[in-house]
Amino acid sequence: MKSHYRVVVIGGGVVGASVLYHLAKMGWTDVALVERSVLTAGSSWHAAGGIHALNADPNIAQLQAYTIDLLSEIEKESGQSIGLHMTGGLTMAGTPDRWEWLQSAYRTFQSIGIEDCRLVTVEEAVELNPIMSGDGLLGGMWADREGYIDTTGTVHAYAGAAKKYGAEVIEHNRVLELNQTLEGWEVVTEKGTISCEHVVNAAGLWAKQVGRMAGIELPVSPLKHHYFVTDTVPELADLDFEVPMTVDLEGFTYTRQDQNGLLLGIYEVNTEHWAMDGAPWDYGMELFQEQTDRIENELMMGYGRYPALENVGIKTWVNGAFTFSPDGNPLVGPVPGKRGYWSACAVMAGFLQGGGVGKSLAEWMIHGEPEADVYGMDVARYGVWAENKQYIKETTGQFYSRRFVMTYPNEQLPAGRPLKMTGIYSDQDAAGAVWGQSWDLEVPLYFAPEGFEETPSLKRSNAHDIVGAECRAVREGVGLLDITAFSRFEVTGPKAESWLDKLMASKLPTPGRAKLAPMLGHDGRLKGDLTVFNWGDGRYWITGSYYLRTWHMRWFNDHMEDGVHVRDLGDEMAGLSLSGPKSRDVLQTALTDGDADSLRFMGCAQMDVGLVRCHVGRLSVAGELGFEMHCRAGDLKALRDTLLAAGADHGIIEYGFNALLSLRLEKSFGIWSAEFTQGYTPGQTGMDRWIDWSKDFIGKQAAVKERDANAPTKLLVTLEVDADGADAAGYEPVWAGDKKIGFVTSGGYGHTVGKSIAMALIDPEHTSEGTALSVHVVGVQRQATVIPASPYDPSGVAMRR
């Protein structure tokens, strides 16, 4: 062990070993892994070792596919057998909705380039896995690249390959303290103190304690998980092939062959947390006593699905702990506020996702950005509110218990809610608000009559007409929307303007004006679709997506300069917007100081609305004449009351974000996490039209290269879809004949144009208006046509009234 390394990875499970391997392979060889016991002593040694392609997040699915492809490579590089059994895999559906979802998921896989899957009938599935009963099943999906590995061998293969590249593995050496220094970190271990530039927390069951050593509260918790291995199953022994990995979604079980026995794992509905403050330091190779009473229902379903189990004994029970995050995805990346401290935690499917996690983290550390869009596992997707122990318990338990439960796109889950509520929550609740959640905040989705309950659905729900009525009211009159769920950052200081000018790719607004502003990463890909306000008194605001607050603040801090101060106003400020042809009349009636007529499109000013001093901007995501009013959080109720009273004679209604999403589609306005992500470029998405090419800004070199030399391989278009009771949502494949040419970024129904609309990234040669294409919607192929952008008010007259 040396006294200094460039990187110290803490934790010798599959994730830590993968991070070490990828760092060393990419050229950072002065790296060490420190393990308190021996490699695999935690969750890795007792993991079931299954590998499969299915994941609800397409970006995570792509990283899983990378991991699967990597396994045979690390076996060759290390010379260590990983016991890879590529049996193929089945995922089975037993309800009509689940079968529709599986058909839709199959098409999503096609969109992201996973081509080795196919749908299978029940009869074919039973032929592939003869010990499985087909009773109650409707169909399934087969994937070639599924199977299982030897978990211990795989960890040693990652570590062995890393050592061949020059990395070091130090076992039997617990980390005792972490101390931040000017140069990086001081890692105090049982065998001495190591200084390093970067620390990676890949401590698995001990991630909580290793986080606390640095003053960090990670939203993670271990939960117990069961599987068992049977004695020899005669029906398996008689086969001349190995049965595939099989997931029975309605039965909460997964299986794989284990020699001539069967391994059956259970995702228990009745969950049990363990050691929420982190595992004891002397824990590692232990298991818990099986709790058959807690898993009785799942066991009965498992035995029903595999009748051969009735006649064999159980050889081994495994009831071990795995670490989960609130949404089940990993916590990866640079921890905000702790320079040089990296998270690689909560990778509950470590042997499936560990390769992708290691690759992405190594790229991030070495190159400044990962190749893939990894927001779905970025540690910055959570804020300080997620540190609450009860929140962690509720959300991790909900995820685990619903691991194989069908979740619908329009379904609202209860764990950890309601948490943050605006000052008008009770009033809007009484007015019929149906609530969704953005980050920690409750947001109104729509306003329904008393007693209404939305039916979860993959298709248009019974709230469809309610949302349509809200859309028409905004287009024809005036609607009031709670926009507290917008992020707000205040930028001040003597160098605020020059700093913003470098950070944003657009021109900055002049005093009293607002401007749409793309923000780029160093690689030229998007970092934000933002709006910058210049209030004319030395203060600028940046507004954007509320749920990206920590993510964006990390980026701002990473590029901070002396003479600049950035403050997150998200917990101080709230807001309401008026949209529609009568919105100016309502605002003018409500104003006690200011003139609504004088505020031009994209103008901004401070005005008094009733008793409330507001920052007002004349813009609207709905594509109508509109005004955004931002006020102190405590003033929101007074502002709402004033505007509703002022709008009473104009037929004002309150509306929610479901209607706003429909209205913005009718204008072909993209949104973050759909049309705009850190995986896309300004040239692909049309954001390049806002770029000021005459100035220097972060990402300019890459953006110019795209503009002048590397034409985008995909372009954003608007499609009209010949839908039938269902609309595209995102990641559905787009076809020109039988050629896949792109995928949907988002979609929905345009209630005021009467069309099903989708936005899509497709090959440039198919983007001409009128081009006939097709799209899969909930697994069914539908005709689609490229139409001009902004099917509603294409000239933008309504916004500029």
Tokens, residue 744: 């949907």
Q: What is the pLDDT of residues 119-159, one digit of tens each?
A: 999 999 999 999 999 999 999 999 999 999 999 999 999 99
725 lies in some domain: yes
735 in Cβ contact with 742 (< 8 Å): no
**Judging by DSSP bridges, how do beta strands 341-345 and 331-334 pair with one another?**
antiparallel
241 lies in some domain: yes
Instruction: Tell whether the model's pLDDT for residue 663 goes beyond 90.
Output: yes
**Judging by DSSP bridges, how do beta strands 4-10 and 117-120 pair with one another?**
unpaired
Rounded distance between C-alpha atoms, residue 463 and residue 243, angstroms: 44
514 lies in some domain: no
When pLDDT is cut at 50, 70 and 90, the band that residue 58 belongs to is confident
Rounded distance between C-alpha atoms, residue 49 and residue 562, angstroms: 50
Compute the half-sphere exposure of residue 94: CA atoms within 13 Å on the CB side of its CA: 16
Tokens, residue 508: 């900055």
Average pLDDT over residues 66-77: 95
605 lies in some domain: no
Instruction: Tell whether the model's pLDDT for residue 55 goes beyond 90.
Output: no
Final residue of a structural domain among 324, 346, 367: 367
CATH code, 8: 3.50.50.60
Q: Torsions phi, psi of 411, nearest 5?
A: -90, 135
789 lies in some domain: yes
Q: Which amino acid appears at position 660 of this protein? A: L
Q: What is the pLDDT of residues 333-378, one digit of tens each?
A: 999 999 999 999 999 999 999 999 999 999 999 999 999 999 999 9
Rounded distance between C-alpha atoms, residue 76 and residue 72, angstroms: 6
Final residue of a structural domain among 367, 389, 422: 367
Rounded distance between C-alpha atoms, residue 587 and residue 596, angstroms: 7
Query: Which structural domain, as residue segments, surrounds residue 800?
Result: 713-801
Rounded distance between C-alpha atoms, residue 43 and residue 482, angstroms: 45
Final residue of a structural domain among 349, 367, 385: 367
Instruction: Tell whether the model's pLDDT for residue 379 goes beyond 80.
Output: yes
454 in Cβ contact with 526 (< 8 Å): no
Tokens, residue 251: 């039965």
Q: Is 272 exposed, middle or buried (0-12, 13-18, 19+ CB in 10 A)?
A: middle
Rounded distance between C-alpha atoms, residue 270 and residue 233, angstroms: 29
Torsion sign across C-alpha atoms 49, 52, 58, 59: positive
Enter the pTM of the model.
0.96
Helix (H, G, I), strand (E, B) or coil at 59: helix
| Residues 6+ away with beta carbon under 8 Å from 14 | 40, 44, 47, 151, 154, 155, 158, 347, 350, 351, 354
Rounded distance between C-alpha atoms, residue 28 and residue 166, angstroms: 9
Average pLDDT over residues 264-282: 95
674 lies in some domain: no
Instruction: Tell whether the model's pLDDT for residue 324 goes beyond 90.
Output: yes
Average pLDDT over residues 686-710: 96
- Residue 57 has a pLDDT of 76
CATH code, 738: 2.40.30.110
Q: What is the pLDDT of residues 169-215, one digit of tens each?
A: 999 999 999 999 999 999 999 999 999 999 999 999 999 999 999 99
- Residue 115 has a pLDDT of 87
166 lies in some domain: yes
Rounded distance between C-alpha atoms, residue 622 and residue 628, angstroms: 11
Burial 756-769 (b: 16+ CB within 10 A, else e): bbbbbbbbeebbee
203 lies in some domain: yes
Q: What is the pLDDT of residues 525-581, one digit of tens each?
A: 999 999 999 999 999 999 999 999 999 999 999 999 999 999 999 999 999 999 999
Tokens, residue 163: 């050592």
* CA 532, chain centre distance (Å): 25
When pLDDT is cut at 50, 70 and 90, the band that residue 275 belongs to is very high
Helical (H) or strand (E) element with 315: strand 314-324
- Residue 746 has a pLDDT of 98
Q: How many domains does the chain have?
A: 2
Average pLDDT over residues 617-645: 98
- Residue 60 has a pLDDT of 83
- Residue 578 has a pLDDT of 98
